[in-house]
Amino acid sequence: MADDKDVLRDVWFGRIPTCFTLNQDEVTEREAEPYYLLLPRVSYLTLVTDKVKKHFLKVMKAEDVGEIWFEYEGTPLKWHYPIGVLFDLHAFNTVLPWSITVHFKNFPDQDLLHCSSNSVVEAHFMSSIKEADALKHKSQVINDMQKKDHKQLWMGLQNDKFDQFWAMNRKLMEYSTEEEGFRYIPFRIYQTMSDRPFIQKQFRPVSPEGKVHTLGILLKEMYPAAIPNEGEQKRYQAVIHGIEPLLETPLQWLSEHLSHPDNFLHICIIPVPTD
Amino acid sequence: MSGSSLEVRAGVCVRTPGAAMPVSLLWAVDVYGRVYSLSTAGQQWEHCRDALMEFKRVTAAQQCCWGIACDNNIYLNVHASDLSIRYQEETYENQRWNPVDGFSDRLLPSDRWQWSDITGLQHQPLDSFRLPSGSWEWEGDWFIDENFEGEPTEKGQGWTYSIDFPATYTKDKKWNSCVRRRRWLRYRRYKATDTWAKIPSQQSTLPDPFSDISCGGWELSEEPRGRLSLWAVSLQGKVWFREGIHHHNPEGSLWEEVSLPGEVVQISCGPGDLVWAVLWEGQLIVREGIGRDCPKGSSWVVVDSPSPDVGAIHVAVGMNVVWALTKDNKVWFRRGVNSHNPCGSGWINMVGEMLMISVGLNDQVWGIGCEDRAVYFRQGVTSSELSGKTWRVINVPRDGERSHSSASASSLQSAGCYFCGEVRGQSVASDVESDTEKGSTDGATGLVASDYPESLDAPADQTSDGPKPLIPKVTSDSFISELVSDRDSAKTAPSVLPEEDDVPGDGEVTAPSSGAALPQSQSGGPHDPQWSNVDLEEAQILQVQTGLVPESSDTCSLSSVATYTLAMEDQYGADEHPLWAWVSGGGCSVDTHSQLHWFNCSMNSSSLVQSVQSMSLSVSPAQTAAWRKQILEQLSERSKREMDNFRHYEQAIEQSVWVKKGCMQWWRDWKPHKWIDVQFALEQFTGPEGNKDGILFIYYNFCEEKKYLHAFINEITILVPVLNEAKHTFAVYTPERTKQRWPIRLAAATEQEMHDWLALLSVSCCDSRKIQGPPSKQAVWSITCKGDIFVSEPSPALEAMPYPTPCDQMFWRQVGGHLRVVECNSVGVVWGIGYDHTAWVYSGGYGGGFFQGLASSTDNIYTHTDVKSVYIYENQRWNPVTGYTSRGLPTDRYMWSDASGLHERTKTNTKPPSPQWTWVSDWAIDYGVSGGTDREGWQYAADFPASYHGYKTMKDFVRRRRWARKCKLTTTGPWQEIPPISLSDVTILPCATQSSSGVDVVPLWAISNKGDVLCRLGVTALTPAGTSWLHVGTDQPFKSISIGAASQVWAIAKDGSAFYRGSVSPQSPAGDSWYHIPSPAKQKLKQVSVGRTSVYAVDENGNLWYRQGVAPSYPQGSSWEHISNNVRKVSVGPLDQVWIIADKVQGSHGLSCGTVCHRLAVQPLTPKGQSWDYGIGGGWDHVTVRGNSMEPPRFRLPVLSQSVLQVKDVAVNGNAT
């Protein structure tokens, strides 16, 4: 019988086949071949694209190389969103491999954060984890951890070590038996159609009356349009890790099993394809 | 009717076999006198429908519940158990020899009675035995005890001979045997279980009826088993103590009045030695002098009411707590209460206003709220915080509120004939039989009531009968007294009717004495217009409010509703919640780890179902939920979609070596052995074939030179946690280290760190060996002396000939839980027994304990508890001046020591075995020491160390006594408890082949911890817990049992003799009779194991015996053949393979005790094997190979040589015998 552990593995080892092509405006010495890579859904673009960078730098002059950034069909891709979120948000329901354009100039300062090194990613990742634990356990678990434990979380993500990461992360996913779940569920709801980057509010896994909150209840509260009214055509999909969980799925379970390594449940609301 | 009541009873009976959780009950009575119980695993109040009348009060213990019914009689409800209450009556037939008649019943005038008790002093003919009450029945007729001290007597006649009365008897007739006697036995059985049986009243000594009862005292002594104290208060304020309640006499024998300093209104008895009562004037009294030898206590001490102006009205005591209520409903907690100071030191005012309070097991507290009459549970009560944190309302529906179908049926029924229900007739009949007096007063009351002017708010006690004016002394009870004790209020209801002339008739109908006699048609036919009016109206109200008219209390609820409808509608509206009158937690076992589902259920049944499902998010129900299935399916689709066609793509992150480092201490290999600081590192990498592997490094300094020790992860055979109070250590074994009996011993800085490392190393080891998921059905299970459970996957070559897998190469992984015994068979049925004798069944999971996260399955892991005792000894020496004192000689042992006397162990410095264990009791004298003790628990001897006896002689100069303190472990593991019977041994039929269907019944036998032989029914591969026990009668207690592949059942009695059970078959799972098998000469057997055909037994001196001459036609065999010594335990498997736990196994670094060993060269023709192969040890206590039915791969030998081999085998066999 499949176990919930399998869900964790499936989530961790999710990969998006990606084709990187160099932006045509870049000055190159010779034509750049596209570069094909399996990107971990749970990681970050700048963390896993050293090979891509190396590949394209081979055909470029050093003086033409600025900070690398990525773009998909005109949209600059925010490296500080997990890769899976970027894909689900912008390219779900499209043909694979995912075609990403690589830029080395004209960094869109308005849209993207700078990322000079992996330590910036690390800082971002750790601050997400801390924020999530503040919601879940009033920061008690993360504060009880030692520096090396924090490092283990980060190294686990960086080196794609599932065991290493989860040996530590499981503590972040625990809650006392007296409670029915986390204090608040760390979640973010993304949408392409809005200027707001994402929705994030305090939301408990169980109502004061003891009713279990489900994905449907969360969406109804946060993004009512995502739920079709009776007899209506479904207009939006709520996608997590490339799947559409049923609306009756308990939020606490989702948070424990379908959160990204940053401990947030990232939910993408995307329009149902019209064709 | 009878069908439905049966169904209800099944529902009420908590001891549903195979229940997942250990279940206990909270009992309560609502204001209408209906009795309900709420299970710790349940989510609704179950109406106790076989309570044929209304109850005022209940007081519960774990095994039973006592109650006072509205007839003021006391009723007892003993919970049914598969192990029935069976009492053995015995009497002796005495005969004397004379030259004329030989042995005859003609005795000398100076002799004893011809039929007597064992002493000969009591005349006891067979027909003098009477059943103690109507709740008992004879099991069969008298029969002769054919055995004497475990040996069969001559011709099975049971005679034992002696020179004269009274003397010692032998089973052999000698030349000087002048007298003989034999024992006759007859069993009687308590039949009134799961029903309210009336305790016969003693009219002569009890002039007034009871108004309060409280039971407790079960912690005072374990002898006799199941002993209870029951205290009762009569309406006149007298206190009575029920003598002689214990397991074999659940009803007790008689009431004894206890003298008092005043009039008592209410009393409370705790599980231990606390008894408090409330006086009419508002003070409290505390019983002193209660102890093991004197459960009744000796004197009272008065304690003032918590509040100087307001008297106390109610008290509730537990093991170490006292709670009280004053007349203004304020709640008080008594500080500083314990055994030595039962009065405590001062009162603390607590939050909340309550009508009554009950203290249950583990000092947990329940109360009934003053405002809402809801049942509250005190949350956060722990041994360190006895006053708890907050009151939390128990918010669960009653069973009637959810079963709408039955509700409508019964309300229809009651609408038709409201007052003529059979139930009512029965209830009346039951109390009428002895209470003619009461019947007549009630009849009189009925007439009074009918004359009474119509009014809804008439105080009930104005209409009440004789003893009534005394009742309102206890205010918390008065509400119910008003309602319940009487149908008077019922009579007020019809009085609202316009037709005055009908009222007298109604009075007659409701009067209990006449109600039984009334024909149904007369009292409530649908043609009776007035009645149908009322009925419909009431039925509607009831339907709105509760959705059900419980049939057994129709009259009562009618009356109550009629009286209180208005008030209730005002206060609570349609969403009514039950009004409670009394609650008892005395049988309810809740502790800090209990997960109760009592607080969140709403009345709406649909939302209830939802919350039930979600309460257990991480356990099984979620596993089967549609949303979960959908997620798994989508994830696998996603993998296909996004990855299957792109496998050739490069991975973004390259896999690399991962190193985890840490600091540890290492017990160094060279002398002098000591703990030294080392660096510890685990390097994990992915091997060439994608398999994971790793190396363990231990870096140490030797003569200022850096050195290291390493072990390959794939060579590690076992990781053993060795928790003790001083260090968090674990041992790492490889085959080499197992041979040496010298593991790598490491100590982590904290327990948490040790567990993290163990979990990580364990995952690495399993990964490297590609072991994942739950153990297979063939797995070999073992247990260490610390109770840790290990499991090993047998290789097909484990039993191969001639080259079996060496048993030091077996890889063992740990499974959560704590057990003393584990037994399994090859269809995957695995049972365990804890140190506290709790039975557990394996749930199919893996991990648990400290294996959290990845090394553990999410489902099938449950809370697992165990309790064991820690012992210390108090030693004293006699001197001529002061007698025995704790002043010893300078050369003596510590005055407080361990068993050896070598280590000091005081009450304060003795800690639980490891930090995982917590104390759950105080130190108490242990009277159950072998050799016996005196009344104060002392054992005497001439000097330390010596053999001790339980009485003092002139030559004894030292004495000691043992103190025990219980500690409890709470962990998790893949085990589910099988309540309620405690076991000491269990055996499962070893199937030779795996059954494919999973529905074949698997024979499973067990011994209860009292020595009863039990046979489990309904065990299959799919339902390994089975359904119920079948009790197999024996004339003496047993201690070990084993069933072979052909249903051969062998057992060992506590006296060391062996028995064979005849005619056990699938058709007759319990067999027919026991056959005595003589033990090996001068040896007392202790354990037996039966494989396919082989029978092995171990005696108390560590000898292993093989039963010779066992054949299908002669299954008892002929004689015992000695195989080996230094054997502690044996397990014979379905292939007749023989494994033992051996002592004194030599390793390169020393002897080890408790080693798993494998008998080599066991073959069908040489079942005794040749020699031992040594595996993991020491410190092992138990092994079972009864799941391993994997036939070893066969070597294809040429036909000729095979026959040669067989001939050789026969020859060897012949030589040996």
Measured CA to CA, the distance from residue B312 to residue A201 in angstroms comes to 51
Domain identity same for A234 and A123: yes
pTM of the model: 0.66
CA angle, B767 then B768 then B773, to 5°: 30
Phi/psi of residue A243, each to 5°? -130, 165
**Long-range contacts made by residues A54-59, C-beta under 8 angstroms, separation at least 24?**
A55/A20, A56/A20, A56/A22, A56/A26, A56/A32, A56/A102, A56/A104, A59/A22, A59/A28, A59/A29, A59/A30, A59/A31, A59/A32
pLDDT at B558 exceeding the cut of 60 = no
CA distance B656 to chain A (A): 8
CB atoms within 10 A of CB B1036: 15
Higher pLDDT, B341 or B316: B316
Chain A residues in contact with B639 (beta carbon < 8 A): 10, 14
Chain B residues in contact with A244 (beta carbon < 8 A): 634
Inspect the interface and report whether the beta carbons of B622 and A253 lie closer than 8 Å: yes
Least confident of B126-140, B529-543, B648-662, B1038-1052: B529-543
| Polymer length of chain A | 275
* Torsion angle defined by CA atoms of residues B128, B129, B135 and B137, in that order, rounded to the nearest 10 degrees: -120
> Which of B610, B616, B628, B864 to substitute to test the interface with A, most A CBs within 10 Å?
B628
A residues 201-230 lying closer than 8 A (beta carbon) to B: 206, 209-212
Higher pLDDT, B152 or B829: B829
Q: Does A33 touch chain B (CB under 8 A)?
A: no
Give the confidence band of B596 by pLDDT, cuts at 50, 70, 90: confident
Q: What single-letter DSSP state applies at residue B980?
A: S
> Which of A179, A212, A252, A265 to substitute to test the interface with B, most B CBs within 10 Å?
A212
Domain identity same for A247 and A183: yes
Give the confidence band of A255 by pLDDT, cuts at 50, 70, 90: very high
Domain identity same for A76 and A161: no
Query: What is the CB-side half-sphere exposure of residue B1197 using CA atoms within 13 A?
Result: 13
Domain identity same for A132 and A236: yes
Residue A193 lies inside a defined structural domain of this protein: yes
Domain identity same for A123 and A95: no
Burial of B906-933, coded b for 16+ CB within 10 Å and e otherwise, reads eeeebebebebbeebbebbebbebeeeb
Kindly give the pairing relationship between strand B35-39 and strand B45-47: antiparallel
pLDDT at B201 exceeding the cut of 80 = no
Query: In terms of DSSP H, where are the helices of B1023-1164?
Result: none
Chain B residues in contact with A258 (beta carbon < 8 A): 631
Domain boundary among A103, A130, A146: A103
Out of B628, B632, B652, name the one closest to residue A37 (CB): B652
Domain identity same for A139 and A257: yes
Q: Does A76 touch chain B (CB under 8 A)?
A: no
Inspect the interface and report whether the beta carbons of B655 and A160 lie closer than 8 Å: yes
User: How much is the pLDDT for B656?
Assistant: 66
- What value does the CA radius of gyration of chain A take, rounded to a whole number of Å? 20
Measured CA to CA, the distance from residue A22 to residue A75 in angstroms comes to 15
Measured CA to CA, the distance from residue B1138 to residue B950 in angstroms comes to 41
Closest CA to B268 of B335, B323, B345: B323
Measured CA to CA, the distance from residue B911 to residue B917 in angstroms comes to 9
Burial of residue A273 (number of CB atoms within 10 Å: 0-12, 13-18, 19+): exposed
Measured CA to CA, the distance from residue A243 to residue A237 in angstroms comes to 9
Domain identity same for A81 and A123: no
Residue A169 lies inside a defined structural domain of this protein: yes
Domain identity same for A167 and A248: yes
Inspect the interface and report whether the beta carbons of A7 and B630 lie closer than 8 Å: no
Inspect the interface and report whether the beta carbons of B646 and A97 lie closer than 8 Å: yes
Domain identity same for A80 and A205: no
Residue A160 lies inside a defined structural domain of this protein: yes
Chain B residues in contact with A96 (beta carbon < 8 A): 641-642, 645-646
Q: Which residues contact B624 (CB under 8 A, 6 or more apart)?
A: none
Cis peptide before B308 (omega within 30 of 0): no
Q: What is the CATH number of the domain that holds A36?
A: 3.10.20.620
E strand or H helix that includes residue B522: helix B520-524
Residue A77 lies inside a defined structural domain of this protein: yes
> Which of B604, B618, B623, B631 to substitute to test the interface with A, most A CBs within 10 Å?
B631
Q: What single-letter DSSP state applies at residue B1067?
A: S
Domain identity same for A137 and A259: yes
Using the Cα atoms of residue A149, residue A150, residue A151 and residue A152 in order, give the sign of their dihedral. positive
Residue pair B211/B474 in contact (Cβ under 8 Å)? The answer is yes
Residue pair B48/B36 in contact (Cβ under 8 Å)? The answer is yes
Q: Does A144 touch chain B (CB under 8 A)?
A: no
Domain identity same for A94 and A127: no
Domain boundary among A49, A78, A103: A103
CA distance B1081 to chain A (A): 53
Residue A114 lies inside a defined structural domain of this protein: no
Give the confidence band of A257 by pLDDT, cuts at 50, 70, 90: very high
Give the confidence band of B481 by pLDDT, cuts at 50, 70, 90: very low
Residue A108 lies inside a defined structural domain of this protein: no
Closest CA to B940 of B930, B952, B928, B932: B952
User: How much is the pLDDT for B822?
Assistant: 96
Residue A3 lies inside a defined structural domain of this protein: no
Burial of B230-249, coded b for 16+ CB within 10 Å and e otherwise, reads bbbbbbebbbbbbeebebeb
Task: Please state, in angstroms and as integers, the Cα–Cα distance from residue B826 to each residue in B799, B840, B994, following that order.
Answer: 15, 18, 6
Inspect the interface and report whether the beta carbons of B610 and A5 lie closer than 8 Å: no
Chain A residues in contact with B631 (beta carbon < 8 A): 7, 243, 245-246, 249, 257-258
User: How much is the pLDDT for B22?
Assistant: 59
Q: What total number of domains does chain A contain?
A: 2
Domain identity same for A99 and A212: no
Q: What is the CATH number of the domain that holds A253?
A: 3.10.20.90
Inspect the interface and report whether the beta carbons of A180 and B615 lie closer than 8 Å: yes
Give the confidence band of B478 by pLDDT, cuts at 50, 70, 90: very low
Bridge partner list, A75: A72
Give the structural domain span for A131: 119-270
Chain A residues in contact with B650 (beta carbon < 8 A): 36-38, 51
Give the confidence band of B1013 by pLDDT, cuts at 50, 70, 90: very high
Domain boundary among A68, A103, A138: A103
Residue A155 lies inside a defined structural domain of this protein: yes
Highest mean predicted confidence (pLDDT) among B76-85, B402-411, B535-544, B1136-1145: B1136-1145
Measured CA to CA, the distance from residue A81 to residue A39 in angstroms comes to 14
CA distance B364 to chain A (A): 16
User: How much is the pLDDT for A275?
Assistant: 62
Measured CA to CA, the distance from residue B511 to residue B724 in angstroms comes to 69
Inspect the interface and report whether the beta carbons of B653 and A3 lie closer than 8 Å: no
Inspect the interface and report whether the beta carbons of A170 and B649 lie closer than 8 Å: no
Measured CA to CA, the distance from residue A64 to residue A44 in angstroms comes to 25
Inspect the interface and report whether the beta carbons of B607 and A211 lie closer than 8 Å: yes
User: How much is the pLDDT for B600?
Assistant: 63
